[in-house]
Amino acid sequence: MRVEARTSAVVVTYNSGDILRACLTNLLASPDCEEIILVNNGNPDEFVIELGAWTEAEPRLKLISGHGNVGFGRACNLGAKHATSSMLAFVNPDCVVEPDALAQMASLADASGPVLVGGCICDPQGLEQRGARRGKLSVWSACVSFLGAGRPSEQAGIWRDFNRNREPLPTCPIETPVVSGALMVTRADAFWQIGGFDEAYFLHVEDIDLCHRYRLGGGKVIFDPSARATHIGGTSQAASWRVEIAKLQSFLYYFWKFARPPFGHFSVILVAPVLALAMLLRVITAK
């Protein structure tokens, strides 16, 4: 029996590369996907022409363009404003989603109260990648993670890794503090009730912020291990040092935003050099 199509998928593209075609192909194969809002976040002119050709050939594709690179969260909000379905899916352009994943996630999100559902993001070998399910972000958990001191066990206490991909994959959907913005589904009315993505983030951490606000608003954040997508990383041509700078700014903004004054803000000031050094080392060792 055919599943009623009622999900709008928002895909933000910035120099995404050829993998975007595979992303869109699988989304169009999803019986729950009524439309795809493709947000052009500053692609080269020749690629925009190609995007336009795709939208002309496929009526379920809508292209939003002309605003430049406004950042991931703002672009997601822009795409969501053009959506017409009761459910919203946010999908990274380098994620190839299994055709039944959106329907599974939508069934969990279609509940009373704000519910945000994240899927299982896997590498091309089928192994769960870092970031799909995470613990609560704090100054301490960030330092433990970035310094490589985290341990994959609930028994590790304060040394438990913020990322949970090294822990056994759950056999059924579970509540978790954080899921990945690379693949998430929620009701459209709940998304706007929470306030959408915080547009002060340019890149990174906006998904962590959204999850935190769902929970603060009395909602739930759920990780569904059976809703899977293959993530092909590294398709964007953005320089790694630019990405790391944006990530550092986002982490510090998050900590400052949710810090409890006055000592919370003082801890953010103290930890800023530690995080900056850790991210610098990541850039150097990645070369």
Domain boundaries, the chain: 7-238, 239-287
- Please give the pLDDT value at position 182: 96
Q: Specify the CATH number of the domain 7-238.
A: 3.90.550.10
- Please give the pLDDT value at position 237: 46
Report residue 47 as tokens.
């690629």
Q: What is the mean pLDDT of residues 153-158?
A: 91
Confidence tier at 198 by pLDDT (50, 70, 90): very high
Q: What is the mean pLDDT of residues 85-99?
A: 96
Between residues 109 and 286, which one has the greater pLDDT?
109
In the chain, the percentage of residues whose pLDDT exceeds 70 is 94
Confidence tier at 271 by pLDDT (50, 70, 90): confident
Query: pLDDT tens across 43-82, in order?
Result: 888 888 888 888 899 999 999 998 889 999 999 999 999 9
Q: What is the mean pLDDT of residues 221-240?
A: 79
- Please give the pLDDT value at position 142: 87
Please name the helix (run of DSSP H) or strand (run of DSSP E) that holds residue 281, with its range, or none. helix 263-286
Pairing of strands 95-97, 183-187: unpaired
Q: What is the pTM of this model?
A: 0.92
Q: What is the mean pLDDT of residues 132-157?
A: 90
- Please give the pLDDT value at position 239: 53
Measured between alpha carbons, how far is residue 183 from residues 88, 198, 207, 245, 276 in Å? 11, 17, 10, 24, 28
- Please give the pLDDT value at position 233: 67
Q: What is the mean pLDDT of residues 263-286?
A: 80
- Please give the pLDDT value at position 146: 79
Confidence tier at 85 by pLDDT (50, 70, 90): very high
Q: What is the mean pLDDT of residues 231-240?
A: 61
Report residue 244 as tokens.
């790391």
Question: Does residue 171 surpass a pLDDT of 50?
Answer: yes
- Please give the pLDDT value at position 4: 56
**Cis omega before residue 262 (within 30°)?**
yes
Question: Does residue 41 surpass a pLDDT of 50?
Answer: yes
Q: How far apart are CA 23 and CA 20, in angstroms?
A: 5
Confidence tier at 224 by pLDDT (50, 70, 90): very high
Q: How far apart are CA 251 and CA 225, in angstroms?
A: 26
Question: Does residue 1 surpass a pLDDT of 60?
Answer: no
Rg (CA), the chain: 18
Q: How far apart are CA 90 and CA 118, in angstroms?
A: 10
- Please give the pLDDT value at position 177: 97
